[in-house]
Amino acid sequence: MTDDPTLLVKDRLTRLLDEGDRSDSVAFRGLQFDLGLAWVHFPEGRGGLDVSPRFQRDVDAALREARAPGPSTEHFFGLTMAGPTLVTHGSDELRDRLLRPMFTGEDPWCQLFSEPGAGSDLAGLSCRAVRDGDEWVITGQKVWNTLAHLADRGMLVARTDPDAPKHKGLTYFALDMHAPGVEVRPLRQITGEAEFNEVYMTEVRVPDADRIGEVGEGWRVAMTTLSNERTTIGGGGGPPAKGSGAIAEAVRIWKEEAVERTPAQKDRLMRLWVEAEALRLTNLRAAQKRKMGNPGPEGSIAKLKFATVNMDIYELCVDLLGSQALIDFDYTMRRSENLGLTGPPGSSRKMFLRARANSIEGGTSEIQRNIIGERVLGLPGEPRTDKDVPWKDVPRS
């Protein structure tokens, strides 16, 4: 085996394209995992080659050019959040058991964090997990769980010690979404779709072997998940091509469908194009500077800016369409199998509505500003009177 990472990645990629069965997505992606090209910065034997994450862009670009099988939308949470969390905090047995089917797409994942009474204040969650021998009995409710209706596994944070302060009494689990006592109910959105869900757990038995991280360390494990989520949302899943994404739809509408083209609207379009390009370049720079491991609070910058830029672009789109933006959209209740960060050409009517969620999902814009202020700028933290108080004694609505 060569010590040159460039030659190593190139050799493995050649083997994948020569030997992989492109007619069978699971088999092809299984070989990709075995060759260390799933997450190249992961350890060898865990889907990686222990090389810089920058090589992943080369791998992904080559596979796209070769029209090789790629992941579908329901695998988003596993690839971008559960995988990095598991490889960072999971046991060897758990990594061996869950990483490969996560990458091949055999086991889609979802995220089970927010609760009706603990949205932005994630550490205030009340979903309980009580130890019973080699199992945990979990009861509680989660909400805003994207694509949970398609998932086989869930990233679940539950309270295991109500006598500890709220940040210290949490534990992280890989929940089997098909276990007895798990119920997934759709949440209909303003678009008519039910992309989100609420998940109820009634005395669900989870093996201790499915615990990720140590008991009581759930907050620290969850921060790994959230930092990857914010970076992914902020970057739109990866540095996009120049002029692509939502701004491409705005330019298309300006050229093809705008009811009128005023100098003020043109100036607005140009300003948004510049903002979108600045965001893209910021994500490229962050990706290049990122060292091996998980992203830090800088992901909050990209996530915050993405939310505002995306909403502003789709607002311009419907303004350019004029009264035509009010028709030709189906609000019928339907189950969604797609994530609504950006949409294809012609989807601006839907995306104008869906983009409202960008300022909430993955951590609200208000929370991102707090993170940036405290962890990036070093400003004094917000007063937290319940920081050292046992969770059971903290007042709750």
3-state SS class at 316: helix
Reading the block at residue 43, the tokens are: 């350890």
φ/ψ (deg, to 5) at 162 = -70, -15
Q: Per DSSP, what are the bridge partners of residue 367?
A: none
Q: What is the DSSP string of 129-157?
A: EEEETTEEEEEEEEE--TTGGG-SEEEEE
| Catalytic status, residue 257 | no
- C-alpha distances out from residue 264 to 270, 316, 319, Å: 10, 11, 12
Taking the C-alpha atoms of residue 199 and residue 206, their distance in angstroms, rounded to an integer, is 15
Could you tell me which of 107, 172, 184, 102 has the C-alpha nearest to residue 145? 184
Residue 90 has, within 13 A of its CA and on its CB side, a CA count of 23
Taking the C-alpha atoms of residue 246 and residue 312, their distance in angstroms, rounded to an integer, is 10
Residue of 195, 198, 229, 361 marked active site: 229
3-state SS class at 164: coil
Which positions ≥6 away from 241 have C-beta within 8 Å?
none
- Catalytically active residues are 229
